[in-house]
Amino acid sequence: YRGITVNFNKRLANRWSMRGHVNWADWDWKLGPEFLRHDDPTDTIGDPLGFSDGEGPYSEASGGIKADVLVGGRWSFNLNGLYQVAPDQPWGFNFGASVDGREGYINPSFVRAGGPIGRRNIQLSSDIEDFRHDDVIVVNAHLDKEIQLGPTSLTLSLDGFNLADEDVILQRQRN
């Protein structure tokens, strides 16, 4: 595993704040003979990842309702900030925005082969990273105005999500 994460944080001062991170990682998980002696994913009837020889790279799959999503993007980032527009004025308001991004997850196709005993999934590409979903970039924004009502205050807000209208595929049937 080789990786680096850079975080930054600018606290609220002079009407603005910002924070974020950039992450890059490069890793390979090879299934060598020591691992295969105790847990060989290729000797099971329902091999979910479809490796025929146990020597290729391996990727973790998510579970639950998002099962069969192979996670493992190499990079991700987040940048979010707040700017206070005329906070000393009665009409002043706050504006915030965020941008999130990550590399698309791998999506290797497979076919089911074999008979009733020993059926297995066989990956159709030689490299697990031959097929990868598009990168995901999401832009969100927020406006709010606080109104003082005596000892109480009321906050009106407007939020916008996925403002770049990206419609990236996050999961697809691999079989």
| pLDDT of residue 108 exceeding 60 | yes
Please report, for residues 42, 46, 53, 117, 171, the alpha-carbon distance to residue 114 in angstroms, rounded to integers and kept in the order given. 13, 11, 15, 7, 26
| pLDDT tens digits for range 122-148 | 777 777 777 888 999 999 999 999 998
Query: What span, in angstroms and rounded, lies between the C-alpha atoms of 134 and 167?
Result: 10
Residues paired with residue 34 on neighbouring β-strands, in sequence order: none
Burial of 51 (0-12, 13-18, 19+ CB in 10 A): buried
Angle at 28 between CA 32 and CA 104, to 5 degrees: 140
Query: Is this structure's pTM higher than 0.85?
Result: no
Q: Which two tokens stand for residue 132?
A: 């990868």
| pLDDT tens digits for range 30-70 | 666 666 566 555 444 344 444 444 444 455 565 556 666 67
